[in-house]
Every structure is written in structure tokens, then in C-alpha cells.
């Protein structure tokens, strides 16, 4: 487990604007949201990412568990710049700490449904279980416009993530020098906004890798367990 603080904004370059029109819908129970905060510059992170990557082959992917790897930028100064890292992801982790949802800012840092999970360090499997059934949630993608519609009436926070898969990086400097790192579920675009029933997001035209999947989830505006989720593969 590594703890460091630094600030660097990483430029990205790959357009998802050619994503075809498609939609996803869930009217059952929300999946468990698994967030891993990681960095290519952290020598403790590859085992955690390997654990997250294993969820790709599990039954219930997208319907029971939605894994995401948020690459933070506070390790970039140590000799290797992680091109998937964003300052907003580092800030997201810090915000969870400020809300007493975690004990500190470190990598690898795990969150299960918005709460810190330290079971990885005790070699426990990633836990997940479906929440209570909720009204239907639909996500529709048309070009770079994402529309989110929820049949419930509660005021909620809508969040989305575009996820890139099957990434390999040969690290030439820093703590992981000489290693080839394998990444899945890498968050390459993310957004969040409060609202009720209907939300709309404009996807980034420049991301660090071509996305393969999308996840959308609703939470109480103060954070906590997801109220409803929907996720799936992109065409």
C-alpha cells in the first residue's frame, strides 16, 4: 500500500465520437460498484489490478458487479507518467476521504459501493452482492451524447464511466521499470451530476484509449450504495 501526494494533469488523445447509437436498460437490482484507485507508477498496484481484471471472466459482470480502475496522477512525478491518470480521479479519491469513506489517500485503494475496502490486503476475494430491486434505468448513447432516464422520482446523483479493456503498457521508468502492465476496466471518461429522472452528458472527444464498455449508476446525492445501475459492452 503506497501513499503519496502530487498534482499533474495528463493529456489524452483518442476520439470516441464514432460510437454507434445503442442503449442499455436494467429494471432489476443494482450491481455492486467496485472502484480501484491505481497508478502505473506504483509498484504495489499490479497485483491489485490483476485481481480486478479477473472479474472480466466472472458470471454477473455488469449485472452483479461493475469494476472500474481510476488511474490517479499523484504518482506521475516519480519518473513515469501514467497516460490514463487524471487529476479529477485523484480528487475523487480525496473527496471520499474527506467524507470519511476511507482512512487515507493511497494506492492501491479499493472502494465497494463508495466505502473503503481493505480486504484485498488480507487476500480476500472482491465482495459483491445485488442491492434491493429498483425502478428501471436506461442509458442511451447517440454519437457523443449520453442520455440517462430513470423511472423513479428520487433526487439522485447520476454518474457514468467509459471503460477501456485489454491494455498493455511497457513501463520504462519509475518503480515498475521493465514491467509490462495489463489493464482492464480503465476509466477513460467520467462524469457526474445531480438531478431527477433525466440526465444528459456530452462524452469527451479525446480519451486515452478506445472504450469497450460503459457503466451508469445512480447514488444518493450524499453518496452511498447505488440505487440503480446499468452497464454493458459497446458495439
Nearest to 94 by CA among 76, 74, 67, 123: 74
Q: Distances from the Cα of 8 to the Cαs of 28, 56, 72, 78, 80, in angstroms?
A: 40, 30, 9, 11, 12
SS3 content of the chain, % helix, strand, coil (to 5): 15, 35, 50
| DSSP code of residue 97 | H
Give the residue from 231, 44, 40 showing the smallest Cα distance to 137. 231
Q: Is the pLDDT reported for residue 8 higher than 90?
A: no
User: What ranges do the domains of the chain cover?
Assistant: 22-233
pLDDT at 130: 87
Task: Give residue 19's pLDDT.
Answer: 63
Tell me the per-residue pLDDT of 42-57, one tens digit each, with 9 for 90 and over.
Answer: 999 999 999 999 999 9
Instruction: Output the pTM of the full model.
Output: 0.91
H/E stretch holding 40: none
Alpha helices (H) along the chain: 45-53, 87-98
Which residue carries 491494455 as its cell? 167
Amino acid at each position: 500500500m503506497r501513499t503519496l501526494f502530487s498534482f499533474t494533469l495528463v493529456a489524452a488523445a483518442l476520439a470516441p465520437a464514432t460510437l454507434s447509437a445503442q442503449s442499455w436498460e436494467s429494471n432489476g437490482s443494482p450491481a455492486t460498484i467496485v472502484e480501484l484507485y491505481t497508478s502505473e507508477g506504483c509498484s504495489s498496484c499490479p497485483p491489485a489490478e490483476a485481481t480486478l481484471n479477473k472479474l472480466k471472466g466472472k458470471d454477473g459482470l455488469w449485472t452483479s458487479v461493475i469494476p472500474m480502475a481510476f488511474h490517479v496522477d499523484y504518482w506521475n512525478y516519480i519518473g513515469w507518467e501514467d497516460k490514463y491518470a487524471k487529476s479529477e480521479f485523484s480528487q475523487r479519491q480525496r473527496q471520499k476521504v474527506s467524507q470519511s469513506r476511507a482512512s487515507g489517500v493511497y494506492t492501491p485503494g479499493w472502494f465497494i459501493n463508495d466505502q473503503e475496502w481493505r480486504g484485498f490486503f488480507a487476500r480476500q476475494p472482491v465482495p459483491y452482492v445485488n442491492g434491493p430491486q429498483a425502478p428501471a434505468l436506461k442509458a442511451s448513447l447517440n454519437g457523443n451524447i449520453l442520455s440517462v432516464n430513470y423511472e423513479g422520482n428520487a433526487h439522485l446523483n447520476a454518474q457514468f464511466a467509459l471503460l477501456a479493456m485489454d491494455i498493455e503498457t511497457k513501463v520504462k521508468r519509475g518503480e515498475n521499470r521493465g514491467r509490462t502492465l495489463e489493464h482492464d476496466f480503465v476509466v477513460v471518461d467520467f462524469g457526474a451530476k445531480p438531478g431527477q429522472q433525466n440526465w444528459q452528458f456530452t462524452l469527451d472527444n479525446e480519451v486515452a484509449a478506445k472504450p469497450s464498455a460503459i457503466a451508469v449508476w445512480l447514488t444518493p446525492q450524499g453518496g452511498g450504495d447505488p440505487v440503480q445501475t446499468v452497464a454493458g459492452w459497446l458495439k
